Amino acid sequence: MKEISAGGVVYRKVGGRLQIQLIQDRYGKISLPKGKMEPGETVEETALREIAEETGLKGRIVAPVDQIKYKYHNETKGMVNKEVHYYLVEAVGGKLQAQVEEIRGVDWFTPEEAWRRQKQSGYDNNDRILAGALKLLGIPVEG
């Protein structure tokens, strides 16, 4: 069984300063907004819908970042091959508001603080996603 999800690294510029959005998931880990693809959706539509649902923001896809692939065991479906597509997404509207059913919180950070938080309490497989998005924004990061 294959399952496709999509999400994004959301950014905005405020007064010429770049900010990166991070969420805190229901397990208390730093993460990125993402979710499962619904029938009839493109991967890009899934990413933008999930960002809007989880964070309240409307976004515009700027570029693809990367994919994460892994397997997990589901009690009813058995072994699932999971594929998560991530995009660099510019926030273009909406109001920042966490979807409390799904996540604990959402906030904006400087790129440096976002990277520090990701390394400190994020999922390891998101390191290359955030690093790739920051690189697309012209911000180098170090391990």
pLDDT tens, position by position, 35-82: 999 999 999 999 999 999 999 999 999 999 999 999 999 999 999 999
* Domain contains 32: yes
Q: What is the CATH number of the domain that holds 19?
A: 3.90.79.10
> Model's pTM, two decimal places?
0.93
Q: Which of 81, 47, 79, 50 is nearest to 66 (CA)?
A: 47
Q: Which of 18, 26, 52 is nearest to 133 (CA)?
A: 18
Longest Cα–Cα distance in the chain: 49
Q: Which residue range(s) make up the domain with 26?
A: 2-136
Rounded Cα gap, residues 117 and 135, in angstroms: 17
pLDDT tens, position by position, 4-35: 999 999 999 999 999 999 999 989 999 999 99
How many domains in the chain? 1
* Domain contains 143: no
* Domain contains 142: no
* Location of structure tokens 């058995």: 78
* Domain contains 110: yes
Partner residues linked to 74 by β-bridges: 78
**Phi, psi for residue 134 in degrees, rounded to 5:** -65, -40
* Domain contains 141: no
